[in-house]
Amino acid sequence: MSPLLQLTDLHTGYGPIEVLHGVSLTVNAGEIVTVLGANGAGKSTLLMTICGVNPTRQGTIHFAGESIANLPAHTIVKRGISQSPEGRRIFPRLTVRENLEMGAFQTGKLDELERMFTFFPILRDRQTQLGGTLSGGEQQMLAIARALMARPKLLLLDEPSLGLAPLIVIKIFDIIREINQAGTAILLVEQNANMALHIAQRGYVLETGRIVLEDTAANLVNNDQVKRSYLGA
């Protein structure tokens, strides 16, 4: 079987500055794949390029066997890729329910609401509350749920643990695992390497725009370079 997502020799950047230099990676159906890297390595740029926000300068992006490089972002959502971005970027002056409805804008269908409330019961209780009044953990749940409203085959998660208390981080990662077990493949960008590697099947290490290491998550946990750079060992 061909990968669900396949990037080959991907180059992109901003203006005259190239950020990604020939990145190649794959995500198979049903997998959680994590990308580790320091701030500035190009992780968010990678996700933004996959979802059509940043242009592809060179290389290919194939999803479900078809090229999606440089397609408009809304078309890529229709194809089956959604992102929960770094910093959550919820709509603070819309209610929780209205934020979720925005996630279904491309499909026009709201029948995923009940499934979101199953994953995130607190959001059912907060339906009429403004997004900006939620706690950090609740906003992160809302951002993930909003992305899932489009029924993606692949969910891109950018730093879902950022700025959250340790107990909330554990809860978020438990939910990510549940989402994956329900059938959604996940490409996870995360600075909490320990948490990411314990829920992923495979991983890549991105340094200054280049993939320098790829392996199973189990092997990466025991890799000396990963231990020194990302696991504090």
Instruction: Inform me whether the pLDDT recorded for 30 exceeds 80.
Output: yes
* Per-residue pLDDT, 125: 93
Q: Retrieve residue 58's tokens.
A: 């060179």
Which pLDDT band holds residue 108 (cuts at 50, 70, 90)? Answer: low
User: 33 in helix, strand or coil?
Assistant: strand
143 lies in some domain: no
d(CA 146, CA 136): 15
With beta carbons less than 8 A apart as the criterion, state whether 130 and 94 touch.
yes
| pLDDT tens digits, 110-155 | 778 888 998 999 999 999 999 999 999 999 999 999 999 999 999 9
* Per-residue pLDDT, 74: 92
198 lies in some domain: yes
The total number of structural domains in the chain stands at: 1
Report the half-sphere exposure of 231 (CA within 13 A, side-chain side).
Answer: 17
d(CA 79, CA 111): 18
DSSP 50-101: HTTSSPP-EEEEEETTEE-TT--HHHHHHHTEEEE-TT----TTSBHHHHHH
With beta carbons less than 8 A apart as the criterion, state whether 174 and 181 touch.
no
197 lies in some domain: yes
d(CA 226, CA 222): 8
96 lies in some domain: no
Q: What's the rounded mean pLDDT across residues 195-215?
A: 96
* Per-residue pLDDT, 178: 93
How confident is the prediction for the chain on average, in pLDDT?
92
204 lies in some domain: yes
Range of the domain at 38: 5-89+152-230
| pLDDT tens digits, 49-88 | 999 999 999 999 999 999 999 999 999 999 999 999 888 8
Q: Are strands 5-14 and 58-63 parallel, antiparallel or unpaired?
A: antiparallel
196 lies in some domain: yes
Instruction: Inform me whether the pLDDT recorded for 233 exceeds 60.
Output: no
Phi and psi based region of residue 209 (left: phi greater than 0; alpha: psi -120 to 50; beta: remaining): left
117 lies in some domain: no
List the CATH number of the domain containing 75: 3.40.50.300
Does the global pTM surpass 0.85?
A: yes
194 lies in some domain: yes
Q: Are strands 202-207 and 32-36 parallel, antiparallel or unpaired?
A: parallel
d(CA 180, CA 118): 14
